[in-house]
Amino acid sequence: MRITAVVTGGNRGIGLATAEEFARRGHRVVLVARNPAAANEAARLGADLVTGDLSTLKGIRATAEALARTCPRLDVLVHNAGVWPSARRLTEDGFEESFAVNHLAPFLLNHLLEDRLDRVVQVTAGLYVKGRADPARTPAGADFSAVRTYADTKLCNLALMPLWAERWRRRDITIDAVHPGVIRTGLGDRGGPVGLLLKAAKLLWKAPADGAAPVVRLALDRTGTGRYFDVDRETPLAPVAADPAAAGRLWAQAAELTGVA
């Protein structure tokens, strides 16, 4: 059966490789990317392109509206867009950039598109276990760290995945999350000596196609919901992401910050 697969951050890295695999299997692909130059990749794949900035609330809402016009139904929504900043940057809404892209964007898109959703896959990172989300400080990056903030924001996002699964259970919408492995992409690239060391280390990492494989496999697997996979192995969430009370507080905060009540 031919499905419609939407991939955010679909113009490079794991996102592009995921889109390529969906296209290779004959599915309709919709790329969501901030850079209009992604039109070249979309054309190569025979895919549709939705240009959208997922770092601002206005941009997220505009992206959702464009997707609603493009896709009467989203058979698969892959939340792949992610940011690993080397310095604290605030968006026009006053949020630290990776908090906005990694956490608030998937949360708000899920709300705005849920009447059209069937299957959601969240691309996450095993580093979430190192996260320490502080609702009072993390949103604006008051606790910013060039290393740990990425883990903090991935933790915020992943902790809500079981709540989405429960919310959608009676609507037959499924959601799972996957850490695709340590993959050679541009995520986290930076200048200086640290950047050179990272670039050298990445030569030993797996290619984007290797990271796309578990994402596509999970996207086409509707045998469960609320699951977390380390590549292809289902594993329980670490305690830091499995606290229902903490997850409830993060959900309430995200709802307030994005205005979805």
Which residues are the active-site residues? 150
What is the C-alpha separation between 195 and 59, in angstroms, rounded? 30
Q: Which residues make Cβ contacts (< 8 Å) with residue 144, sequence separation at least 6?
A: 88, 96
Bridge partner residues of 74 (DSSP): 117
What is the C-alpha separation between 2 and 75, in angstroms, rounded? 9
Using DSSP's 3-state secondary structure scheme, residue 140 falls into coil
Query: Residue 87: which of 149, 13, 39 has the closest Cα?
Result: 149
For residue 98, what are its two tokens?
Answer: 């990776």
Query: Residue 246: which of 90, 92, 138 has the closest Cα?
Result: 138
Can you tell me which residue has the tokens 């959208």? 52
